[in-house]
Structure 1
Amino acid sequence: MKKKIAIIGSGFSGISSAAYTAAAGHEVHIFEKNDIAGGRARQFTTANGYTFDMGPSWYWMPDIIEDFFRDFGTSPEHFYKLVSLDPQFEMIFNDGLMAIPEKYEDMRRVFEDLEEGAGPKLDKFMEEARIKYEVGMRDFVNKPCLSWLEFFSPKIARNALKLDLLTSFRNHVRHYFKHPKLVALMEFPVLFLGAAPADIPAMYSLMNYGGYGLGTWYPMGGFYKVSEAMIAVAQKQGAQLHLRAHVSEINIRDDKAVSLTVNGNEICFDTVIASSDYHHTETLLDKKYRNYTENYWQNRVFAPSCLIYYLGFNTRIPGLKHHTLFFENDLDLHAHEIYRDKKWPSKPLFYACCPSKTDPGVAPEGHENLFLLMPLATGIADNETLREQYFEEMISRLERHTGMTAMASRIDYKRSYCIKDFIADYNAYQGNAYGLANTLKQTAVLKPSIRNRKIKNLYYTGQLTVPGPGVPPSIISGKIVAAEINQLKHVPV
């Protein structure tokens, strides 16, 4: 039976769910509060010619993204050009840098040069990671996680021990590698999962395969090209996108979501999918209809927020690659200050993305486009004075790395983005940037449910529910919710 479906939010999970439900013949409407679609993957262009991606910048797990387009009879190549980065990225340490080559054999030599015997160990590590990736990303993460019984499949049973769910990622990495640079390299990808390596199950070494094994890519024109392409796919299926559409209430009658209040007007729907921040979505409901209490959210482990600077330079920056990780300081200390002490970091790590090294179209000729990101604890104080303090530190470390002096004087565009902005633009709980951390106690069925337990036609999708944070998981999340709706024979009553 054809249903009229409302989707709140146009991030990757919302657009994904829109495409799959529209393809099943439903009337689908996407409501986005901002003036551009894409959620955290928005993009903006400045008056002086810079184009900045506002969020995601690492194109990993290309096969998962390609799966979305294949489901609709197309491919990413129809919408944007992908470029493989070489090196994939550089890591800056106090005693020099380490470049991560595009080709696996070259990466293997880097490992062997740093630690005798690490080359064969890398082979074994990556083979195990490949198996986890195939089971995890092709079976495990595609479950709606409404019951543990979903995981009693022959394939998962055969590979249960190989998934390493009860081993910490930190211990798993140190079982193979001792050199601190190699340990840092292998631990880095789990930062995308929002927790310290000691608190993440070893199953997530699948991230190493999804990144290093499948390569680091860049879509020419910026990551927003992926959002644009997915929106185009969803619209081709019949989904309708409404911008500057603020949803202020989910209206319930007889324990059923019957309408949304959008820009002050009530619009009726048969089913509602919330791709908006889960906690915020629940505030659109009377307390008796919410899945979780405020105390529940306060006791979750959230992935970090971050301080971001979008910078335009009126000159080229020497010695800087497309992706650069500044790891001169201790990862454990920074992680502790994010998850335990919950304060601004004393010795931060940070990340620099310079897409103009690959894509001249994102900056005026002879200029440079630079994106700086420093992970932060959620819910802490955020003001311009603090932002500028850390900006100066990041610029100082960039100067040491590039040999370029007086970098701040070469800036002709500057914009900061931090906790307050994540709250204002995305209603993000405590200003989180990446959703819930993928700790063992917040995995699978232990994540917030995709179904409202009291309102049978209200669903949740996105980085605060299954399968978790990141672009590919968010795309999968939308598909999971759409599958739950599409298999229903009638509108729930």
Structure 2
Amino acid sequence: MQKKVIVIGTGLGGLSTALRLSTRGYEVEMVEKYHRAGGRLNLLEKGGFKFDMAPTFFSMSYEFEELVKDCNMPMPFEFVELDPLYSVHFEGDQRSYLIYKDLKKLALEFQNVEPDFERKITRFLKAAGQIFHDTENIVIQRNFDSLTQYLLKLTTVPIKHAPKMFYSMWREMERNFDSFEVKVIFSLVGFFLGATPFDTPAVYTLLNYTELVHDGYYNVKGGMYKIVEGILQELQKRGVQIHYNTEIVSFSKKDGEISSFTDTSGKEWKADLFVVNADAAWFRGAILKRPEFSVQKLDAKKWTLAPLTIYLGLDAKVPNMYHHNYFLRRNFEEYAGKIFKNKIKLDKPYYYVNIQSMHNPDYAPEGKECIFILCPVPDLRYKQDWRDDDEIADGIIQDLSDRTGFDFHAHTEVKVVLNPEHWEEMFGLYRGSGLGLAHDLNQVGGFRPKNKDEKFNNLYYVGASTIPGTGLPMTVISSRLVTERIQNDHGIVPKK
């Protein structure tokens, strides 16, 4: 008999899992709290403008290739490789730094601040590449049945990498480079993990290798939401139904298994198996009422940055800017050390600017521009009141105008500001955390919430806060790992 699976949540992890399970003969149905699929990989439309809401690029493109091959389908979207990868602007500098994959071009960017840069970066990337290749199949690409199994597996990682588990990414930058600019720019990958380079272990310099050597960064032709649209089209062909505006609030159990989940309207959702694409830690506490995942216990964990996001529709094109831009200041260590716990003013924050219509002209009317701005801010544990979100946003827009010489305020037709409260409400992000649980050593691998439930044999998890971690390719890997779990437990189901 064909077994039925209900997937709760339509983020990339949930959508990818639905694809894989439907390929293996399962009947799949999905429920989603929001009015549109995608989770954080979503689309905002207003006043004739379109905006990718959160992710604006990704790495490890081969994980998407593995997904479509596994699901016997053509690639439903087209990659656009970024080169240069991004630009970085420091306050007070007349110039910006373009980050190229070509190390000779990159060396020219830093020739005045970092002597012998090409030799230094080559040595640094070689070490980072060794960490990546020595750990990818041991930690990232596999399931763990117990903490003991995970710890035993870690012993097979070459011992030379062990010290980098116990000191910070910033210290690793100091060991390899001299200039402030180089150390800051190549530690930005710590922010990609939703943390800072001062509290991110040095082993994560492997991300520098993935961005500059291994695979690079990619956008999608037509916008990042094409990923979601392409998967939705394939799911529709397979008869997978998705029910939007449906929020799960409780469950029923029978004989040691989940028998159904119930939504806010009282409707019961029954299936043989359930896969949760909501936050794996939050769901165990809020819905399953597990004491070990209580609010007090969750608040004591380390969570990733919260987003303050600004979406601008402009009546003109922006000159002299790249697609991806970081705007930084000179108080890097002080700012990074204080921002996430709300111990520094947000009057002069660090932020990222993505000119989305530069690569995706259909996102804005002809002659106009759409802009996405992300400012990492304290989550709702540390800053509960966000009534000043417009004031903070206006300060960022003014700062951007001052530093580029282009008056963004004067050219704004459409403006939307989303603070951590909005993100928590829209997508169930715990305390507004943008990327789920942080990647401390005691919150990765076998220490992370498992992708199979501890008590119910028919309940599984996929997404950023379970294994292997946060980011678009990580959630695609997560879908493969949870599908392996389900297949091992329940087999491949013959199709009707």
**Cα pair 2:151 2:446 within 8 Å, conserved:** no
Please report how far the alpha carbon of residue 375 of structure 1 lies from its aligned counterpart in structure 2 after TM superposition: 0.3
1:101 aligns with 2:100: yes
In 1, the alpha carbon distance for the partners of 2:232 and 2:160 equals 39
In structure 2, the partner of 1:125 is 124
**Cα pair 1:19 1:239 within 8 Å, conserved:** no
**Cα pair 1:334 1:346 within 8 Å, conserved:** no
Q: Which runs of 5+ in 2 are unaligned?
A: none
Please report how far the alpha carbon of residue 340 of structure 1 lies from its aligned counterpart in structure 2 after TM superposition: 4.0
**1:195-248 CA distance string (max 9 Å, x none):** 221222222112112222222322121111112223334445554322222222
**Cα pair 1:317 1:402 within 8 Å, conserved:** no
In structure 1, the partner of 2:280 is 278
In structure 2, the partner of 1:374 is 375
**1:8-49 CA distance string (max 9 Å, x none):** 100011112212222221111111122210001111222x32
**Cα pair 1:334 1:347 within 8 Å, conserved:** no
In 1, the alpha carbon distance for the partners of 2:324 and 2:11 equals 24
In structure 1, the partner of 2:65 is 66
Instruction: Report the secondary structure of 2:165's partner residue.
Output: coil
Alignment of 1:216-227 (within 5 A): 216-227=217-228
In structure 2, the partner of 1:467 is 468
**Cα pair 2:306 2:376 within 8 Å, conserved:** yes
Once the two structures are overlaid, the 10-residue window that deviates more, 349-358 or 142-151, is 142-151
In structure 2, the CA distance between the partners of 1:475 and 1:330, relative to structure 1 (3 Å rule), is farther
Please report how far the alpha carbon of residue 101 of structure 1 lies from its aligned counterpart in structure 2 after TM superposition: 2.3
In structure 2, the CA distance between the partners of 1:475 and 1:286, relative to structure 1 (3 Å rule), is closer
In 2, the alpha carbon distance for the partners of 1:477 and 1:306 equals 23
Please report how far the alpha carbon of residue 156 of structure 1 lies from its aligned counterpart in structure 2 after TM superposition: 7.2
Alignment of 1:185-264 (within 5 A): 185-213=185-213, 214-236=215-237, 239-262=240-263, 263-264=265-266
Alignment of 1:47-66 (within 5 A): 48-66=47-65
Please report how far the alpha carbon of residue 5 of structure 1 lies from its aligned counterpart in structure 2 after TM superposition: 1.1
Please report how far the alpha carbon of residue 84 of structure 1 lies from its aligned counterpart in structure 2 after TM superposition: 2.4
Q: Please, which of 88, 91, 101 is the counterpart of residue 88 of structure 2?
A: 91
In 2, the alpha carbon distance for the partners of 1:452 and 1:291 equals 13
Instruction: Report the secondary structure of 1:175's partner residue.
Output: helix
In structure 2, the partner of 1:478 is 479
Please report how far the alpha carbon of residue 183 of structure 1 lies from its aligned counterpart in structure 2 after TM superposition: 0.5
Please report how far the alpha carbon of residue 486 of structure 1 lies from its aligned counterpart in structure 2 after TM superposition: 0.9
Alignment of 1:86-485 (within 5 A): 86-94=83-91, 95=93, 96-147=95-146, 148-150=148-150, 152=152, 157=156, 159-162=158-161, 164-213=164-213, 214-236=215-237, 239-262=240-263, 263-283=265-285, 285-287=287-289, 289=290, 292-341=293-342, 345=346, 347-379=348-380, 380-381=382-383, 385-405=387-407, 407-485=408-486
In 1, the alpha carbon distance for the partners of 2:441 and 2:322 equals 35
In 1, the alpha carbon distance for the partners of 2:288 and 2:101 equals 52
In 2, the alpha carbon distance for the partners of 1:354 and 1:67 equals 30
Alignment of 1:19-38 (within 5 A): 19-38=19-38
**1:137-181 CA distance string (max 9 Å, x none):** 44421222332424645x972535337333321222211111111
Instruction: Report the secondary structure of 1:207's partner residue.
Output: helix
Please report how far the alpha carbon of residue 2 of structure 1 lies from its aligned counterpart in structure 2 after TM superposition: 4.0
In structure 2, the CA distance between the partners of 1:344 and 1:266, relative to structure 1 (3 Å rule), is farther
In structure 2, the CA distance between the partners of 1:69 and 1:342, relative to structure 1 (3 Å rule), is farther
In structure 2, the CA distance between the partners of 1:329 and 1:387, relative to structure 1 (3 Å rule), is farther
**Cα pair 1:65 1:472 within 8 Å, conserved:** yes
One-letter amino acid of the counterpart of residue 85, structure 2: Q
One-letter amino acid of the counterpart of residue 227, structure 1: V
**Cα pair 2:272 2:458 within 8 Å, conserved:** yes
One-letter amino acid of the counterpart of residue 9, structure 1: G
In structure 2, the partner of 1:14 is 14
Please report how far the alpha carbon of residue 66 of structure 1 lies from its aligned counterpart in structure 2 after TM superposition: 2.6
**Cα pair 2:12 2:475 within 8 Å, conserved:** yes
Once the two structures are overlaid, the 10-residue window that deviates more, 130-139 or 387-396, is 130-139
In structure 2, the partner of 1:5 is 5
One-letter amino acid of the counterpart of residue 167, structure 1: Y
Q: What TM-score, normalized to structure 2?
A: 0.91
In 2, the alpha carbon distance for the partners of 1:43 and 1:305 equals 19
In 1, the alpha carbon distance for the partners of 2:125 and 2:115 equals 17
Q: What TM-score, normalized to structure 1?
A: 0.91
Once the two structures are overlaid, the 10-residue window that deviates more, 271-280 or 143-152, is 143-152
In 2, the alpha carbon distance for the partners of 1:343 and 1:273 equals 40
**Cα pair 1:449 1:460 within 8 Å, conserved:** yes
In 1, the alpha carbon distance for the partners of 2:133 and 2:123 equals 16
One-letter amino acid of the counterpart of residue 189, structure 2: P
In 2, the alpha carbon distance for the partners of 1:64 and 1:344 equals 40
Please report how far the alpha carbon of residue 484 of structure 1 lies from its aligned counterpart in structure 2 after TM superposition: 0.5
In 2, the alpha carbon distance for the partners of 1:57 and 1:27 equals 32
In 2, the alpha carbon distance for the partners of 1:236 and 1:165 equals 46
**Cα pair 1:82 1:217 within 8 Å, conserved:** yes
In structure 2, the CA distance between the partners of 1:422 and 1:434, relative to structure 1 (3 Å rule), is same
**Cα pair 1:329 1:348 within 8 Å, conserved:** no
In structure 2, the CA distance between the partners of 1:73 and 1:114, relative to structure 1 (3 Å rule), is farther
**Cα pair 2:5 2:28 within 8 Å, conserved:** yes
**Cα pair 2:88 2:98 within 8 Å, conserved:** yes
**Cα pair 1:32 1:243 within 8 Å, conserved:** yes
In structure 2, the CA distance between the partners of 1:286 and 1:353, relative to structure 1 (3 Å rule), is closer
Please report how far the alpha carbon of residue 319 of structure 1 lies from its aligned counterpart in structure 2 after TM superposition: 1.6
One-letter amino acid of the counterpart of residue 431, structure 1: G
In structure 2, the CA distance between the partners of 1:472 and 1:238, relative to structure 1 (3 Å rule), is same
Please report how far the alpha carbon of residue 3 of structure 1 lies from its aligned counterpart in structure 2 after TM superposition: 2.4
Please report how far the alpha carbon of residue 72 of structure 1 lies from its aligned counterpart in structure 2 after TM superposition: 2.4
Please report how far the alpha carbon of residue 434 of structure 1 lies from its aligned counterpart in structure 2 after TM superposition: 0.9
In structure 2, the partner of 1:81 is 78
In structure 2, the CA distance between the partners of 1:185 and 1:166, relative to structure 1 (3 Å rule), is same
Once the two structures are overlaid, the 10-residue window that deviates more, 347-356 or 122-131, is 122-131
In 1, the alpha carbon distance for the partners of 2:316 and 2:384 equals 31
In 2, the alpha carbon distance for the partners of 1:166 and 1:65 equals 32
Instruction: Report the secondary structure of 2:362's partner residue.
Output: helix
